[in-house]
Structure 1
Amino acid sequence: MAALRAILLGCGLSEAIKWGKPCFSHEGDNIVIMQEMKAFLALMFFKGALLEDPDGVLVDQGPNSRSARRIEFTSVDDVTRLADTVAAYVAEAIDVEE
């Protein structure tokens, strides 16, 4: 979680606890939230359906979610390997908000 948090803060996002989870925003707009699951750590993009996803890493939240998409990490190696992708997707998510 610390490695992913460092990437997000490096993208210029602000951190706050919302809904009991680390939530990261830009100029007051929620961009992503970290969710700890049993088998993985999820980075959920609130408007992920609007992102391009050229790397094919975004996963639907579920059948009732219309806009949220997430990236799933099962290890710190996953976070390291996807660091550039996360930064690019965060930048795009910020653009979507503006």
Structure 2
Amino acid sequence: MSNSAKVDDFLDKLDHPLKAEMAAVRAIISAHPEIVEDVKWGGPSFSYKEELATFNPRLKDCVAVIFHQGALLTDDTGLLEPGPKGKAYAKLRSMDEVTAAKATLEKLVNDWIALMDAK
């Protein structure tokens, strides 16, 4: 999919020490043509049929990605940390961590799409 102008504007104005890393994670998640971007809950958000994930830009020591129904996703790498109410969190603290997580993030997006298509 093409990037959302609303998300572009949000990120252009964002003051965050890991802005480049956030842009890289955004590119990984939004690379799938069926992912839709928006700004919700105070950060860039990604969906396909239902909400998939949202950045929490208030955390300044990492790129925090909240997977809204992360408990439905399988992650054997340890990237996702379980959270309350079925959520899961990925916290990436450097470009090296983003690069290392790329394949896992791509898998999570593809798994989400497959789950939504199976409903």
What TM-score do the two structures reach when normalised by structure 2?
A: 0.72
How many residues are aligned here? 94
Within the alignment, does 1:54 sit opposite 2:73 as a pair? no
Higher relative contact order (CA 8 A, sep 6+): 1
Contact 2:75 2:104 in 1 (8 A): no
Where do 5+ consecutive residues of structure 2 fail to align? 1-21
1:81 aligned counterpart, secondary structure: helix
The whole-number CA distance in structure 2 between the counterparts of 1:52 and 1:66 is: 16
The whole-number CA distance in structure 1 between the counterparts of 2:86 and 2:100 is: 25
Contact 2:63 2:92 in 1 (8 A): yes
Contact 1:31 1:94 in 2 (8 A): no
Tell me the percent identity. Answer: 32
Where do 5+ consecutive residues of structure 1 fail to align? none
Task: Tell me which protein shows more strand as a share of its residues.
Answer: 1
Match of 1:96 in 2: 115
* Structure number, greater radius of gyration: 2
Match of 2:56 in 1: 35
What RMSD in Å do the two structures reach over aligned CA positions? 1.3
* Aligned-partner residue type, residue 2 of structure 1: A
